[in-house]
Structure 1
């Protein structure tokens, strides 16, 4: 699970965090003119880039602390070998749909964090009164499976883009997206200016992708981290075309911090950045419902899957410590939001500990101790480049495809809503759009069956009542009161 620290921090930093246009450096030679919003879109403004660097450092710590606290609580309170951390999917939705790339979305960062915290509180309340698992069962099974597939495609698409990953996919004025990995790109739009597939960082990231994929294919323990370590180590070498420390003010500042190696960074800008003033807008509530939907489906189903994998389940499908595990899982989201990160979930990587014999909370506490140790290596974790993170997002997306085989593709009433759900998530770059469209199509295709079934039940009830009256009349006899 070590990859989560750098990947989550990188994704959330793309939202811009608390950085605004006020952090931008004025235009050289014309300091009287205030910078405009365009200063946040490129990579050339040193003031804004320095703010992003501080934000990423904060989010590295926030991710590690949230994972450490959540995993420790799961082990100590629920005595289960389940490790927790801020979840993939929810973090991408937060960064690219809610807040938007560098704050270009419809919800400000502070309002979005407040929404995450409120969602965590609601989720905690649902878990406390026992409604969590019941809500999960209300969602049609095939839509649940399609949501997981769609989120996987969303993550993979994110990992292939320039700002967040490998840079293989970029914008096109004619076909919307196209093959890029260019040697020269527009710093604002990311459009290719020449040299398709000539980007050195892409080929380095592709090598890391193949290394990680090979490790996963051969079931190498910790395979996900090896590709990240390889690409990152090569990118630390200065004076190369793939260095993460170019000879620029931002690159020099990053290298100076990197040379510390060991440093306990304190959160400066992301913790406590909550604003509940924007809740009068409907898009905030829609985002909260989407996060709640993902939480109910993702974390609940993962937890049950892990319990079944480890043999913890009872005859009714539950498992010992279930109630406390649900409370820990939901409560950890509240803490994560307070630190500046997103919703916390139980990770499928918990199977690694279970496979090695972990059956108690000591396994989760051990994971917590590892996250604690990572807090002292912020300079290293802060220097992981996007082309090292992108392959992991693509491979996480690939692993989420496995549930597609369980969708009932032979039944068009189930297959069509499922396809709409998974297709619209990456194509509209919105998890919420996929969920809403999929559920809408599902209702449209099933309402006639539901109505017919309801009418049939009403008709049967009326027939039964008439038969009862007729039988009673026959027993009493003609001319007598029933």
Structure 2
């Protein structure tokens, strides 16, 4: 036994045992073979759930800006049900079929693109946006199955992959500050600092600092605890941070208790509208802008996340390849399709799964445990309604900050790399559109390489994408 194994019990393999004497779960998931134990896998699944359960609060908060159904007053509650179901199904298929310890849920950034760009800015209905999510997921599955992943991954340079993730992070931070009224609209300067004495601002700043300290101390589930602590402060202090019919009001109490029976999201599920997405000129705009952006962002985000997690869990071989890669990526696409069917934006792998991996999770049972916990959380939807937007705003800001990490690897000394990356990052919050950031990054990268005689530094597919996006801005804007 190595010294490292002695120092890290989570990595110490249990004594070998006769396969015939192992339980059904052990044999199916290969728990003992992976050097883990049943209690360790369950604990890792709980840790992953705590680390990413903030999505139960935040995803409905983001999507409810765009999904408004006349005559239906429980849309937010249905979005909670949909979020839990999508996360449960995504995590269960990843655990049971792919047998990897990686949980899935509606992705941050993609939900903002869905709500604020596709629906509120571009004018698509939320039903059409769901159709775009479904198509992007189907494309993801198809390309994963036929083995085309490598060609598409290589089409976008590393610079743009890093910049897209960072740009989404900047957009999320901007959105979080807006939701907390830290920044407000201003006729003279476009944006300005909000009233720092207002209840939403000080509550959000309290939650932001508390969560940052907990994360710095490496407390598991720091984002969740920050949200819960901020909510408790809002309730106890009677701060006017809850949306009422005539403005912000204090907490109104639990009229129906804190536990309730789950409900089927009947007004959200199976509402995809392919006709509105693909009719007339929308056939071009929808496919090249909406579907492409959903696909590109999810594809590269999932590729990076799953590869990084697999490396951390010790799954990659000597050539850096992931076992059962087609199955893993297919399950990510299947989760996106299922989420669209249920009524939510793209469901994808979560980097917070690293928390479970650090706890020793090495098999699909970890993801299955997380999925079961998301199902259980559906019984507590009345309690979730007590969480104000100012309490979830810090999560958006902090997740945005974490997504900025990759830009340190951009070659900032090379203007041909730096300017496209910069445009990608800043265009997303400045234009309030993730699609614009991706488009400007691809177009500027291709133009600079082409005009400076460095054509071979970019893939032919990138030049094709740039030409199509440029045509869209000229003729279809």
TM-score, normalization by structure 1: 0.79
Shift of 1:288: 0.8
Gap change, CA 1:421 and 1:412, over 3 Å in 2: same
Matched, 1:12 2:66: no
3-state SS of 1:236 partner: helix
Gap change, CA 1:245 and 1:257, over 3 Å in 2: farther
Q: 2:349 maps to what in 1?
A: 346
Gaps of 5+ in 2: 1-51, 458-477
Residues 168-202 of structure 1 deviation map (CA, whole Å, 9 limit, x = unaligned): 0110001100111xxxxxxxxxxxxxxx2221121
Equivalent pair of 2:449/2:455 in contact (CA under 8 Å): no
Between the aligned partners of 2:161 and 2:397, the Cα distance in structure 1 is 21
Equivalent pair of 1:73/1:328 in contact (CA under 8 Å): yes
Shift of 1:137: 1.6
Gap change, CA 1:241 and 1:443, over 3 Å in 2: same
Between the aligned partners of 1:452 and 1:264, the Cα distance in structure 2 is 56
Alignment of 1:8-407 (within 5 A): 8-15=59-66, 17-20=67-70, 23=71, 51=72, 53-100=73-120, 105-161=122-178, 165-180=179-194, 196-237=195-236, 240-242=238-240, 244=242, 255-257=253-255, 259-278=257-276, 279-280=278-279, 281=282, 282-285=284-287, 286-407=289-410
Equivalent pair of 1:264/1:376 in contact (CA under 8 Å): yes
3-state SS of 1:391 partner: helix
Between the aligned partners of 1:245 and 1:451, the Cα distance in structure 2 is 54
Between the aligned partners of 1:14 and 1:245, the Cα distance in structure 2 is 13
Q: 1:480 maps to what in 2?
A: none
Gap change, CA 1:420 and 1:72, over 3 Å in 2: same
Q: 1:442 maps to what in 2?
A: 445
Between the aligned partners of 1:256 and 1:357, the Cα distance in structure 2 is 38
Shift of 1:261: 2.8
3-state SS of 1:376 partner: helix
Equivalent pair of 1:68/1:368 in contact (CA under 8 Å): yes
User: How many pairs are equivalent?
Assistant: 401
Q: 2:430 maps to what in 1?
A: 427
3-state SS of 2:262 partner: coil
Shift of 1:324: 1.1
Whose radius of gyration is greater, 1 or 2? 1
Gaps of 5+ in 1: 24-50, 181-195, 455-482
Shift of 1:220: 1.0
3-state SS of 1:409 partner: coil
3-state SS of 2:268 partner: coil
* Bigger mean CA offset, 4-13 vs 130-139: 130-139
Between the aligned partners of 1:204 and 1:140, the Cα distance in structure 2 is 40
Q: 1:457 maps to what in 2?
A: none
Shift of 1:451: 6.6
Q: 1:185 maps to what in 2?
A: none
RMSD: 2.2
* Bigger mean CA offset, 431-440 vs 316-325: 316-325
Between the aligned partners of 2:358 and 2:84, the Cα distance in structure 1 is 24
Equivalent pair of 2:95/2:364 in contact (CA under 8 Å): yes
Gap change, CA 1:213 and 1:258, over 3 Å in 2: farther
Residues 416-435 of structure 1 deviation map (CA, whole Å, 9 limit, x = unaligned): 11111111111001111111
Gap change, CA 1:205 and 1:249, over 3 Å in 2: closer
TM-score, normalization by structure 2: 0.80
Gap change, CA 1:425 and 1:277, over 3 Å in 2: same
Between the aligned partners of 2:260 and 2:359, the Cα distance in structure 1 is 31
Equivalent pair of 1:265/1:378 in contact (CA under 8 Å): no
Between the aligned partners of 2:426 and 2:251, the Cα distance in structure 1 is 42
Gap change, CA 1:448 and 1:355, over 3 Å in 2: same
Query: Could you say which structure has the greater relative contact order, defined with CA pairs below 8 angstroms and 6 or more residues apart?
Result: 2
